[in-house]
């Protein structure tokens, strides 16, 4: 029986108006790295983010990899604050559906590849944190544990006291689908940006998710 849902955050619950990953990296992150004598081109950085290269790969540029990712995350928090001040971080109009899902008695968790501080900051902007029993951002003790690794998802399952068959992963990206499947869960793809192969269910928005869940609970 379904007892819980684990949500991705960015681009599933909230979005960033005008955000471009390359421009963010080259305009915000790279200047900070250059101050420390690190020249890391965007394509190499992107490979570490996608998981094509381990997070520790950056140590060949002469910096401890944990310190490197903490620098990136500090810049990301600055960027998010800058975006928030300009009203360019916005919740999707269907996030009110979280209240309905909570009212059904489901345990909810949020899991993000962003840092804990970045994730909590964004959720706090729209008072979304109240819906989640646990919120997990990236874990500096296991930096390769970000999605598509199942590590953070399994961490959330454990905190909720649920088995993988008792919960579903909800997200917008390929990484969300892979992380959920690798954790042994059913996955719901919210198709805000198109369908991702490999999901078990597809919904256009979170209200459709509510209907899907309601049907599951009535069985």
List alpha helices for the chain, DSSP H: 21-24, 30-35, 42-50, 65-85, 97-103, 116-125, 151-160, 174-182, 206-218
pLDDT score of 105: 97
* Separation of alpha carbons 215 and 219, rounded Å: 7
* Separation of alpha carbons 158 and 143, rounded Å: 19
Burial class (CB in 10 A: 0-12, 13-18, 19+), 77: middle
Q: Write out pLDDT tens, residues 68-88.
A: 999 999 999 999 999 999 999
Name the percent of the chain in helix, strand, coil, to the closest 5.
Answer: 50, 15, 35
User: What are the sequence ranges of the domains in the chain?
Assistant: 4-15+90-218, 21-85
pLDDT interval class at 219 (50, 70, 90): confident
pTM of the model: 0.96
* Separation of alpha carbons 37 and 30, rounded Å: 10
pLDDT score of 85: 98
CATH 3.40.50.1000 fits 4-15+90-218, yes or no: yes
Residue with tokens 């690798």: 182
The average pLDDT across 117-136 equals 98
Retrieve residue 22's tokens.
């390359």
Give phi and psi for 59, each to the nearest 5. -65, -20
pLDDT score of 51: 87
Q: Write out pLDDT tens, residues 87-112.
A: 999 999 999 999 999 999 999 999 99
Distances 205 to 17, 95, 162, 192, 209 between C-alpha atoms, Å: 18, 9, 25, 7, 7
Determine what percent of the chain is predicted with pLDDT higher than 70.
Answer: 100
């Amino acid at each position: 029986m379904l007892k819980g849902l684990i949500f991705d955050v960015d681009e599933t619950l909230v979005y960033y108006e005008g955000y471009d990953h390359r421009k963010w990296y080259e305009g915000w992150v790279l200047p900070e790295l250059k101050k420390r004598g690190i020249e890391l081109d965007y394509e190499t950085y992107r490979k570490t983010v996608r998981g094509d290269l381990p997070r520790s790969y950056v140590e060949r540029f002469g910096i401890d990899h944990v310190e490197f990712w903490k620098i990136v995350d500090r810049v990301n928090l600055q960027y998010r604050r800058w975006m928030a001040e300009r009203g360019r971080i916005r919740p999707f109009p269907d996030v009110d559906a979280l209240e309905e899902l909570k009212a059904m008695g489901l345990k909810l968790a949020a899991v993000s590849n962003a840092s804990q501080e970045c994730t909590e900051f964004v959720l706090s902007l729209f008072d979304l944190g109240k819906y989640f029993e646990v919120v997990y951002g990236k874990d500096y003790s296991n930096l390769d544990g970000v999605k598509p690794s199942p590590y953070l998802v399994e961490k959330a399952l454990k905190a909720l006291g649920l088995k993988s068959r008792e919960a579903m992963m909800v997200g917008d990206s390929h990484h969300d689908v892979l992380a959920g499947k690798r954790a042994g869960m059913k996955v719901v793809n919210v198709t805000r940006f198109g369908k991702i192969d490999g999901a078990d269910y597809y919904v256009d928005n979170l209200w459709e998710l509510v209907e899907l869940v309601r049907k599951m609970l009535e069985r």
